[in-house]
Structure 1
Amino acid sequence: MKWVAAVFFLNLFYSVISSPEDGEPYLHVMARSSVYNAGVKRAIYCKGRNLPETLQWYSPSGDIVEGRSSRNTRVYVERSKNDTLANSLVALIIQEAMIEDSGNWTCKAGSLSETIEITVGVKALISDPDETLEGEEGKSVKLDCIAKGHPSPVVQWYIENDPIAHDHKKYVIRVKGDNYQLEIKNLTHKDTNEYVCKVTQKALSHFANKRVQLIVNHKPLLIDENNEVYYSKYRTEEVYAIMNETKNITCSVLATPPPTFRWYRRHDGFDDELLTDADTILISENGNSSVFVLRMLDESALGEYKCSADNNKGHVSIIYHVSLGNKPNAPDFVELTGKSTTSLTFNVSCSTCNTASAEEDISEDPRNLTVLGYSFEVVPVQEGFLPDWDAATEFLVNLNQSNSSLFTISPLANSTTYHVRVRTRNAAGYSDWLEVSPDPTTDLACKLTGSFILLIILSFIYPLINQ
């Protein structure tokens, strides 16, 4: 009870120095209407001078709050030992605030009274703030958000920071007691996402979130290099290769669970040869793409290849028509034009290459394929050693217009000198390399600008001038 005695003494001192002149009846509650969290301790003081009757605290039910006793240990009043009608100070003690303490508490003496409103709240706590759920394509899934608190919280579901509105066709929001449930109907691959239930109690300045990662199991869907989805089960694709070089053919799908890939060599339109060489068939880390490494040793490698992908939800396939394409010419000019702490910018051109100024000008002639862009490789310079191109980092850049010539590669390490080489690429493959000379260097990260240096100098000079 030391904390009660200390506050009691301070308020007694305050009541002495701030009371009105003798003779004038005065009563004042030394607290404002407030919101308390359940379980807290509070001492609320009421002071008076020259009162007509004894100062009393009344509970929200209208009962007089009695002093502490063996039966009354949680909510009670404490009076100053020198309490009189002429000078009173009474403390309302709430040892452990409960929801039932909410309401109007009145300090009264005769016709004088003053009331404050107390609201006791319970923070809405979410027992399982992070959850992962699986749903099945074409079916429904229910996401629970149990938020029990007082006052009743405001609950809103979000997807990608956008609030979800009730929609009986797709999103159904139901309130079942303390459970704010979101039902998602007719699940598709697009519903795989993170859903957030945001719980707000403004009166308690309390906020809580629940995150639900929803994974929808669905059939494989074909996607292209730009992750555009094809909703057909079958499609064909033209592939161009260069003789005596390696061609990587990538088969990509969107599927959960990850599919099983199979590659076939087709003869006369039939899948009569299953390809099983582990050195030529690679699977991505996420399991949603497979690469067939085609070695163009002679023209017998030309023809049709099939990639099939299936899981327990469905099956898709792609037929690749492989034919010869021209090897692009190498760039005939490359020059460093700009740099920063993390990037290098080059001017690259190929005067003998076939470029297109518009999409309709793109050549489909295998002997004269349109240039798609360039491939850069960079590797840090090590004094006394030749470039280790096997450890190089590759950057692919695209030609958006026929006159595009400036290309930035990033991110790179600051204050680092690099070996750089560049080659042209088209649908069939790559040209020979053109090396950049001299070796470029990125900027130093802590490089100071002139204005910043001047600011530092002035910060030292200004105190000396004003001495």
Structure 2
Amino acid sequence: MRRAIAVLVFSLVCSVSSTEPDDTEPRLQVMARSTVFNAGETKAIFCKAINIEGPIEWRNPAGGVVKERSVKNNRVYVERKEENTGILIPLIIHEIKISDSGSWTCKAGDLNETIDILVGVKVNITNRNETREGDEGKSTKLDCEAEGHPAPIVQWYRESKPIDAFDRDKYVMKKVKPHNYQLEIKNLSHLDVGEYVCKVTQKALSHYTDKTVYLFVKHKPVLYNPETRSTLYKTEEVYGILNETKNITCSALANPPPTYKWHKRHNNYDGSITSDDTVITAADGSSSVLILRMRSDEDTGEYVCTAINNRGRQSVVFHVTLGDKPNPPDFVAVNGTNATHINFNVICSTCTMVQDETVAPDPKNLTLLGFHFQLVPVEEGVPPDWDSAEDFDLDILSAEDTLFEVGPLNNSTTFHARVRSRNAAGYSEWTIITPNPSTTDDAIRLISSIILVIIALIATGLY
């Protein structure tokens, strides 16, 4: 049920004089100021009459005289109260309505005082969260029912930006029926999946509300590369290391979720790969992994991944080539620690750090992509259990990168640690980090900070 909230805004006219008013001069004063009411409330607006003996009345916005309370007149009426300083004529309004908006006048002979009343109904969106589903290539319409008075300002947003900042040929906003501010999205694709927010504002009432619609689109699979976040690719170069395992991941956006088929291409013939220990597919259909055991050159070549649902299919070809394993780091040192992180200085002086992107990669000399760290807490008398270690894969962002922060980690803990290099083919052998690094204690760090603050205060003469 829609709950209406009424707002009464009163303009109060005040007369200020540097001298005392004439006690014998007749005058009227409406004793009200701006305020906010909810629908159904009762409010009394007082008109004070001083030195007036004739009739005093309230008139409604239509000019009619407001009568005193009676059996038939018990919603809007007036009363009369005597005071030592004058007469009070309250205007009583029960269950305030929009139709009560307008100018109300307190009148006595030629004297009158008027206030303007604005009765508003705040927009109340009952279903503020909604899920919709559309079909690829077709249009969908998102509704935003916003009934209120005064009429609200309504704007649709996506990704915190107003829709009118996007393609106007794709998005059409229009008001349909009395109060439905509808957004039509044309030619749906997977790019249209996401949240759409209808924001509703009534400035006169200082009121705001909104509605969120999450849009799903039924569409054919769209293959994408999680690392580059690219969806416009049909082939990909993959490098493996001889006598090691190479995992090739095929990821797809699709609704409904896709199934995957893998094939090995040989002499223009695609042989199906179906072994359960070779292909592992995520339960939600988001990806499928081909586990290649690189035993010889025969395991290289073209591998085709096809994602399929009832809307269509899409394939990508992985060109698998043997590549050289990277060299391990030849310098590792702890650069700094705190309660939750350890900063390592890592250098591989024999690794290729930069490669011209316009030149095809050399499988024998692949660019170093980053370092892989493993850390496991030290237990006295117990060798490190690397199977339970925490893993941290950190990328090299520029050729000058040598510092790598690993964490978060437990504070005040000493770790067995090791690191290895990573390129497009895989990982190097491990380099053990000695001596064992440790995180600091929170209390020690706090004391150190306090000492530094005290030193700074002493240096400035404030301590």
CA deviations 1:272-291 (Å, max 9, x no partner) are: 2x222223222235422211
Could you tell me which residue of structure 1 aligns to residue 44 of structure 2?
43
> 1:201, CA displacement in angstroms?
0.9
Q: Could you tell me how far apart the structure 2 residues matched to 1:46 and 1:445 are?
A: 68
Q: Structure 1 residue 430 and structure 2 residue 427: aligned?
A: yes
Could you tell me which residue of structure 2 aligns to residue 113 of structure 1?
112
Q: Structure 1 residue 287 and structure 2 residue 285: aligned?
A: yes
> In the superposition, relative to structure 1, how do residues 37 and 384 fare at CA in structure 2: closer, same or farther (>3 Å)?
farther
> 1:351, CA displacement in angstroms?
1.8
Could you tell me which residue of structure 2 aligns to residue 171 of structure 1?
171
Q: Which moved more, 1:314-323 or 1:198-207?
A: 314-323
Q: Could you tell me how far apart the structure 2 residues matched to 1:51 and 1:262 are?
A: 96
2:191 aligned counterpart, secondary structure? helix
> In the superposition, relative to structure 1, how do residues 355 and 229 fare at CA in structure 2: closer, same or farther (>3 Å)?
closer
Could you tell me which residue of structure 1 aligns to residue 398 of structure 2?
401
- 8 Å Cα contact 1:158/1:196 also seen in 2: yes
> In the superposition, relative to structure 1, how do residues 248 and 100 fare at CA in structure 2: closer, same or farther (>3 Å)?
same
- 8 Å Cα contact 1:326/1:367 also seen in 2: yes
> In the superposition, relative to structure 1, how do residues 380 and 132 fare at CA in structure 2: closer, same or farther (>3 Å)?
farther
> In the superposition, relative to structure 1, how do residues 381 and 46 fare at CA in structure 2: closer, same or farther (>3 Å)?
farther
Q: Could you tell me how far apart the structure 2 residues matched to 1:442 and 1:65 are?
A: 80
> 1:347, CA displacement in angstroms?
0.9
Could you tell me which residue of structure 1 aligns to residue 220 of structure 2?
219
Q: Could you tell me how far apart the structure 2 residues matched to 1:53 and 1:285 are?
A: 87
* Paired AA for residue 310 in structure 1: I
Q: Could you tell me how far apart the structure 1 residues matched to 2:412 and 2:54 are?
A: 84
> In the superposition, relative to structure 1, how do residues 345 and 107 fare at CA in structure 2: closer, same or farther (>3 Å)?
same
> In the superposition, relative to structure 1, how do residues 31 and 348 fare at CA in structure 2: closer, same or farther (>3 Å)?
same
- 8 Å Cα contact 1:33/1:116 also seen in 2: no
> 1:101, CA displacement in angstroms?
0.9
After TM superposition, list the pairs within 5 Å mapping 1:224-243 onto structure 2.
224-231=225-232, 235-243=234-242
- 8 Å Cα contact 2:221/2:253 also seen in 1: yes
CA deviations 1:368-419 (Å, max 9, x no partner) are: 3222221122334445543332233322222333332112234434444433
1:309 aligned counterpart, secondary structure? strand
Q: Which moved more, 1:61-70 or 1:113-122?
A: 61-70
Considering only aligned residues, what root-mean-square deviation do their CA atoms show, in Å?
A: 2.7
Q: Which moved more, 1:116-125 or 1:305-314?
A: 305-314
> In the superposition, relative to structure 1, how do residues 43 and 171 fare at CA in structure 2: closer, same or farther (>3 Å)?
same
| Structure 2 unaligned regions, length at least 5 | 1-19
1:165 aligned counterpart, secondary structure? helix
1:203 aligned counterpart, secondary structure? helix
1:117 aligned counterpart, secondary structure? strand
> In the superposition, relative to structure 1, how do residues 212 and 445 fare at CA in structure 2: closer, same or farther (>3 Å)?
farther
- 8 Å Cα contact 2:223/2:307 also seen in 1: no
TM-score scaled by length of structure 1: 0.85
Q: Which moved more, 1:336-345 or 1:251-260?
A: 336-345
**How many positions carry a matched residue from both structures?**
435
> In the superposition, relative to structure 1, how do residues 393 and 169 fare at CA in structure 2: closer, same or farther (>3 Å)?
same
> In the superposition, relative to structure 1, how do residues 261 and 28 fare at CA in structure 2: closer, same or farther (>3 Å)?
same
Q: Structure 1 residue 89 and structure 2 residue 88: aligned?
A: yes
Q: Could you tell me how far apart the structure 2 residues matched to 1:54 and 1:389 are?
A: 97
- 8 Å Cα contact 2:355/2:367 also seen in 1: no
- 8 Å Cα contact 1:33/1:118 also seen in 2: no
Q: Structure 1 residue 374 and structure 2 residue 371: aligned?
A: yes
Could you tell me which residue of structure 2 aligns to residue 450 of structure 1?
450
| Structure 1 unaligned regions, length at least 5 | 1-18, 463-467
CA deviations 1:13-57 (Å, max 9, x no partner) are: xxxxxx945311121011135554322221111112101423221
> In the superposition, relative to structure 1, how do residues 25 and 146 fare at CA in structure 2: closer, same or farther (>3 Å)?
same
Could you tell me which residue of structure 2 aligns to residue 151 of structure 1?
150
Could you tell me which residue of structure 1 aligns to residue 312 of structure 2?
314
Could you tell me which residue of structure 2 aligns to residue 4 of structure 1?
none
Q: Could you tell me how far apart the structure 2 residues matched to 1:383 and 1:145 are?
A: 64
Q: Could you tell me how far apart the structure 2 residues matched to 1:144 and 1:357 are?
A: 52
CA deviations 1:288-323 (Å, max 9, x no partner) are: 221111123444433332211111222111222323
Could you tell me which residue of structure 2 aligns to residue 126 of structure 1?
125
Q: Could you tell me how far apart the structure 2 residues matched to 1:94 and 1:67 are?
A: 12
Could you tell me which residue of structure 2 aligns to residue 58 of structure 1?
59
> In the superposition, relative to structure 1, how do residues 331 and 98 fare at CA in structure 2: closer, same or farther (>3 Å)?
same
